[in-house]
Amino acid sequence: MSESSNPLELVRKLLSVIYTVLGLIVFAGLILIYAVYIEPYENSDVVTETEIVKPDVDGLVEGEGREVVATNCTVCHSAKLITQNRATREGWQNMIRWMQETQNLWQLGDNEVVILDYLEKYYAPEAKGRRQALKNIEWYELED
Protein backbone atom coordinates (compact mmCIF):
# COMPACT_ATOMS: atom_id res chain seq x y z
CA MET A 1 0.00 0.00 0.00
CA SER A 2 2.97 2.31 0.53
CA GLU A 3 4.27 2.16 -3.05
CA SER A 4 3.79 5.38 -4.96
CA SER A 5 2.61 3.49 -8.00
CA ASN A 6 -0.40 2.33 -6.01
CA PRO A 7 -3.44 4.13 -7.48
CA LEU A 8 -4.99 4.50 -4.00
CA GLU A 9 -1.85 6.30 -2.83
CA LEU A 10 -2.09 8.68 -5.82
CA VAL A 11 -5.66 9.50 -4.93
CA ARG A 12 -4.62 10.17 -1.33
CA LYS A 13 -1.83 12.53 -2.49
CA LEU A 14 -4.21 14.34 -4.81
CA LEU A 15 -6.70 14.75 -1.95
CA SER A 16 -4.05 16.17 0.35
CA VAL A 17 -3.16 18.78 -2.30
CA ILE A 18 -6.83 19.68 -2.63
CA TYR A 19 -7.20 19.98 1.16
CA THR A 20 -4.15 22.26 1.33
CA VAL A 21 -5.53 24.53 -1.39
CA LEU A 22 -8.95 24.64 0.30
CA GLY A 23 -7.28 25.43 3.60
CA LEU A 24 -5.41 28.34 2.03
CA ILE A 25 -8.62 29.68 0.52
CA VAL A 26 -10.38 29.59 3.91
CA PHE A 27 -7.37 31.28 5.53
CA ALA A 28 -7.35 34.01 2.88
CA GLY A 29 -11.09 34.44 3.41
CA LEU A 30 -10.60 34.90 7.14
CA ILE A 31 -7.97 37.56 6.52
CA LEU A 32 -10.35 39.30 4.14
CA ILE A 33 -13.16 39.18 6.69
CA TYR A 34 -10.82 40.62 9.30
CA ALA A 35 -9.70 43.39 6.93
CA VAL A 36 -13.22 44.35 5.84
CA TYR A 37 -15.23 43.86 9.02
CA ILE A 38 -13.15 43.75 12.15
CA GLU A 39 -10.29 46.08 11.42
CA PRO A 40 -12.37 49.21 10.74
CA TYR A 41 -13.89 48.88 14.24
CA GLU A 42 -10.56 48.62 15.92
CA ASN A 43 -9.60 51.91 14.29
CA SER A 44 -12.84 53.60 15.22
CA ASP A 45 -12.83 55.69 18.33
CA VAL A 46 -16.55 55.21 18.80
CA VAL A 47 -16.42 51.51 19.52
CA THR A 48 -14.01 50.33 22.18
CA GLU A 49 -12.21 47.04 21.89
CA THR A 50 -14.40 45.20 24.37
CA GLU A 51 -17.50 46.17 22.48
CA ILE A 52 -16.55 44.96 19.00
CA VAL A 53 -19.65 43.60 17.41
CA LYS A 54 -19.35 41.58 14.24
CA PRO A 55 -21.19 43.30 11.40
CA ASP A 56 -24.46 41.61 10.93
CA VAL A 57 -25.26 40.94 7.27
CA ASP A 58 -27.96 38.48 8.24
CA GLY A 59 -31.13 39.22 6.43
CA LEU A 60 -29.79 42.12 4.36
CA VAL A 61 -30.69 41.55 0.71
CA GLU A 62 -27.77 40.52 -1.52
CA GLY A 63 -26.75 43.47 -3.66
CA GLU A 64 -24.21 46.18 -4.35
CA GLY A 65 -23.44 48.09 -1.18
CA ARG A 66 -24.55 45.41 1.27
CA GLU A 67 -21.15 45.15 2.96
CA VAL A 68 -20.87 48.92 3.31
CA VAL A 69 -24.33 49.00 4.87
CA ALA A 70 -23.45 46.14 7.20
CA THR A 71 -20.18 47.76 8.23
CA ASN A 72 -21.66 51.19 8.96
CA CYS A 73 -25.22 50.46 9.99
CA THR A 74 -25.10 47.44 12.26
CA VAL A 75 -22.56 48.51 14.86
CA CYS A 76 -25.16 49.90 17.27
CA HIS A 77 -28.31 48.10 16.15
CA SER A 78 -28.95 44.87 14.31
CA ALA A 79 -29.70 44.50 10.59
CA LYS A 80 -33.26 43.66 11.60
CA LEU A 81 -33.95 47.32 12.26
CA ILE A 82 -33.09 47.97 8.61
CA THR A 83 -34.85 45.01 7.04
CA GLN A 84 -38.16 45.63 8.81
CA ASN A 85 -38.29 49.25 7.65
CA ARG A 86 -39.15 50.81 4.28
CA ALA A 87 -38.50 54.39 3.18
CA THR A 88 -37.75 56.62 0.23
CA ARG A 89 -34.18 57.79 -0.35
CA GLU A 90 -35.05 61.00 1.45
CA GLY A 91 -36.59 59.03 4.31
CA TRP A 92 -33.46 56.91 4.74
CA GLN A 93 -31.31 60.02 4.58
CA ASN A 94 -33.42 61.63 7.30
CA MET A 95 -32.85 58.57 9.50
CA ILE A 96 -29.10 58.83 8.92
CA ARG A 97 -29.14 62.53 9.83
CA TRP A 98 -31.17 61.79 12.97
CA MET A 99 -28.69 59.09 13.99
CA GLN A 100 -25.77 61.45 13.31
CA GLU A 101 -27.35 64.25 15.33
CA THR A 102 -28.55 62.23 18.29
CA GLN A 103 -27.19 58.66 18.28
CA ASN A 104 -23.41 59.07 17.73
CA LEU A 105 -23.40 57.85 14.13
CA TRP A 106 -20.21 59.03 12.44
CA GLN A 107 -19.92 60.98 9.16
CA LEU A 108 -20.28 58.46 6.33
CA GLY A 109 -18.30 60.35 3.67
CA ASP A 110 -18.37 58.71 0.22
CA ASN A 111 -20.12 55.68 1.72
CA GLU A 112 -23.33 57.65 2.22
CA VAL A 113 -24.17 57.52 -1.49
CA VAL A 114 -23.45 53.78 -1.60
CA ILE A 115 -25.65 53.21 1.46
CA LEU A 116 -28.51 55.33 0.16
CA ASP A 117 -28.34 53.66 -3.28
CA TYR A 118 -28.63 50.28 -1.61
CA LEU A 119 -31.45 51.20 0.77
CA GLU A 120 -33.41 53.06 -1.89
CA LYS A 121 -33.18 50.07 -4.23
CA TYR A 122 -33.93 47.22 -1.84
CA TYR A 123 -35.96 48.79 0.96
CA ALA A 124 -38.34 51.14 -0.83
CA PRO A 125 -41.90 51.63 0.45
CA GLU A 126 -44.87 49.86 -1.10
CA ALA A 127 -48.27 51.54 -1.25
CA LYS A 128 -50.50 49.95 1.39
CA GLY A 129 -53.52 52.25 1.41
CA ARG A 130 -55.67 52.73 4.49
CA ARG A 131 -56.09 48.99 5.15
CA GLN A 132 -54.57 45.93 3.50
CA ALA A 133 -56.26 42.60 2.90
CA LEU A 134 -55.47 39.96 5.52
CA LYS A 135 -52.36 38.18 4.28
CA ASN A 136 -50.39 35.01 5.04
CA ILE A 137 -53.36 33.30 6.64
CA GLU A 138 -52.40 29.86 7.95
CA TRP A 139 -55.58 27.82 7.59
CA TYR A 140 -56.29 25.08 10.13
CA GLU A 141 -59.28 23.03 11.17
CA LEU A 142 -60.64 24.26 14.48
CA GLU A 143 -61.33 21.35 16.85
CA ASP A 144 -64.80 21.24 18.40
Partner 1 sequence: MNQRRKFLKNASLATIAAALGTELAFAESMPFGYMPVAFQEQDPYKLFSKEPEMVLLNDRPWNMEAQAHLLDDEITPASKMFIRCNGKIPADIDESSWTLTVAGESVSQEKTYTLQELKTKFKKHSYQLTLECAGNGRSEFDPPAKGNQWTIGAVSCANWSGLRLKDLLDDVGIEDNAVYIGYYGKDTHLSGDPNKDPISRGVPIEKAMLEETLIAYEMNGEPIPLAHGYPLRLVAGGYPASASGKWIDKIVVRDQVHDGTKMTGQAYRVPCDPVAPGAEVSNDDMCIIESMPVKSIITYPKSGAIIKEGRELEIRGHAWAGELSVQSVEYSIDFGSTWQSCSLKEASNRLAWQHFSTQIKFPRTGYYEVWARAKDQNGKQQPMILPGWNPKGYLNNACHRIAIKVV
84 burial (CB, 10 Å; 0-12 / 13-18 / 19+) is exposed
Contact present, 63 and 121 (Cβ < 8 Å) = yes
Specify the stretch interacting with partner 1 by CB under 8 A; choose among 9-17, 20-28, 99-107, 110-118: 99-107
Q: Which is nearer to partner 1, 5 or 132 (CB)?
A: 132
SS3 (DSSP) at 6 = coil
Residue from 56, 112, 117, 120 touching partner 1 (CB under 8 A): that is: 56
Q: Can you give the binding site for partner 1, defined by CB under 8 A?
A: 46-48, 51, 53, 56, 74, 76-78, 80-81, 84-88, 91, 95, 103-105, 125, 127-132, 134, 137-142, 144
